[in-house]
Structure 1
Amino acid sequence: MYLLALAAGLFTLAGVIWARGGTFFGDEAAPHTAESQTWWYCYECVNGFGLTAAEYDGRTIDARHPAAELKPGDIPLTVRVAPCPKCRKWAVAALKCPVDGAIFDRRPPDRSPSQCPLCGWSPAKPR
């Protein structure tokens, strides 16, 4: 009986820690700094934008790639998405080109290697 109560208590504690995202003793706010910024690209309005960790926190989900065209039998490409501040459609995680500053999809829907649409820079083959 004692072991059953102990197991139930530990299970409950693990559930609480999991529900809080792994934080139990502290709940530090996500930073709202340029260093914490991630890049996003919206296919709907062709808009590239940045979100700080504070803006990103709680606003993103995993979903089917918004620009992916599926054929029968295809496995959907699941990516992290965030709402576009311009059109409110889903935007995908992106990269910002260090050469020309263009923001582009880091995981294209055709599953090809990502590269800058303006200069061809790719994180897979840095210059």
Structure 2
Amino acid sequence: MVYVSDERGSPGLYILPATGGTPEKLNTESSYTTEPDWSPDGKKIAYSITSGGGQIGVYDIESKKARIVSRGSGLESPSWTKNSRHLVCSQNGTLVLLDSMTGEAIKIPNNLSKNTEPNTTR
């Protein structure tokens, strides 16, 4: 299980083993991380970075390394697609498809005025 806690000051990501035990704080190298989403393949966790204008980070479970995958700002609410490569995110009220490998973001056209907090169906 991954969750957000501010027990050490600003919000950070923690993993709690399914069997219980001590939570592990993830080293995301960002000071304010929220909205974690575990990839369908179980290998990565995407999250919002609210410090610095709003970006998306990805934490690799195996290597225990984090990286910022977005090129722009104003991004939030990442939700993985089935392929565990792309994320649907909100960017200033518009939905975008973000490639977690290249950082390329493509706007998803629709007729709604404001789009926030996307959630993909697995």
Q: Same fold (TM over 0.5)?
A: no
TM-score (norm 2): 0.27
Q: Which has the larger radius of gyration?
A: 1
Higher relative contact order (CA 8 A, sep 6+): 1
Normalised by the size of structure 1, how large is the TM-score?
A: 0.26
